[in-house]
Structure 1
Amino acid sequence: MLRPATDADSADVLTWRNHPEVRAVSLTQHEITAEEHAAWWEATRSSDTREVYIYERRDVPSGVVTFFDIDRDAGSAWWGYYLDNAGLAERGELLPAWIEVQRQAKRFAFETLGFSTLEGEVLESNEAVRQFNRRNGFTELDRSVRDVDGTPTAVIHVRATRD
């Protein structure tokens, strides 16, 4: 289930984001400071082009889904997500949660939020997510090289449409 994030979720979101496995596949890989997170949280919560949802698995907060650069007129948004890797792994639920959150978020974006296009990015080296994206209807559009914390890194732009 996805529910709107509240300020009470902020500390969990930062903890999940700073997990080494999450940082390793992110476009920003350094450990996010409390100050950086607070600024992002405030900017996100006060923007009408960003929305944050908490993914709950078995009624336990277990991840975060963000939609950003939302263009309601065009029916499009960019998105990303990450999970509570430590908690889910401890409960033996990391893989099923990973499968479930993407499917739920995509369905939520199209059916609840009314988007027709969902854009995203994935590190070229993250083959597991790239394969999963393809299985879930995402098309790889183009490749670019970006600076990821001082390292030139190949990034793939992906898109899914409501169709």
Structure 2
Amino acid sequence: MSIFQLRLIEEPDLAQILKWRNSNRIKQYMYSDKEISWEEHLGWFQRVKDDSSKKIFVFLQEDIPLGFVQFYDICVQHNRCYWGGFYIGEETAPAGSGTRMATLASII
């Protein structure tokens, strides 16, 4: 049985996430299809990582990164948040990976 998990993104994950985000397969579904530079990506990470109203996760299978999940406007007082980015970045991810990722994200 494969082990799937979500964990908070760490700096070593950034190159992979930027590669996914800039791929035509992913960026065609984003609000902007602009190519994101490394400097912009790093700036985004620096802003988000310590912002308690946002959480960013990498989705893994057996410690292999497959996807990305972001929540924003997290309000503990009102027990609510909103989905941000949500995608399977790896084209070779097993069928059903998006469903597994969504299920894990829904219980965080």
TM-score (norm 1): 0.58
The equivalent residue for 1:70 is 74
Larger radius of gyration: 1
Q: Between Structure 1 and Structure 2, how many residues are aligned? A: 103
Structure 2 CA distance for aligned equivalents of residues 78 and 39 of structure 1: 22
Offset at residue 19 of structure 1 (A): 1.4
Question: RMSD across aligned C-alpha pairs, in angstroms?
Answer: 1.4
Higher strand content, 1 or 2 = 1
- The reply to whether residue 20 of structure 1 matches residue 24 of structure 2 is yes
Equivalent position SS for 1:104: helix
1:86 pairs, out of 85, 91, 104, with 91
Structure 1 CA distance for aligned equivalents of residues 51 and 31 of structure 2: 21
Higher relative contact order (CA 8 A, sep 6+): 2
Question: Which residue identity lines up with residue 75 of structure 1 in the other structure?
Answer: N
Structure 1 CA distance for aligned equivalents of residues 58 and 31 of structure 2: 20
Question: Which residue identity lines up with residue 63 of structure 2 in the other structure?
Answer: D
Question: Which residue identity lines up with residue 47 of structure 2 in the other structure?
Answer: A
The equivalent residue for 1:106 is 106
Show structure 1 runs of 4+ deviating over 4 A.
Answer: none
Question: Which residue identity lines up with residue 83 of structure 2 in the other structure?
Answer: W
Offset at residue 36 of structure 1 (A): 1.4
Equivalent position SS for 2:107: helix
User: Which consecutive unaligned segments of at least 5 residues does structure 1 have?
Assistant: 109-163
Offset at residue 37 of structure 1 (A): 0.7
User: Which consecutive unaligned segments of at least 5 residues does structure 2 have?
Assistant: none
Offset at residue 12 of structure 1 (A): 1.1
Offset at residue 87 of structure 1 (A): 4.4
2:50 pairs, out of 35, 46, 66, with 46
Percent of aligned positions that are identical = 24
Offset at residue 107 of structure 1 (A): 2.4
TM-score (norm 2): 0.85
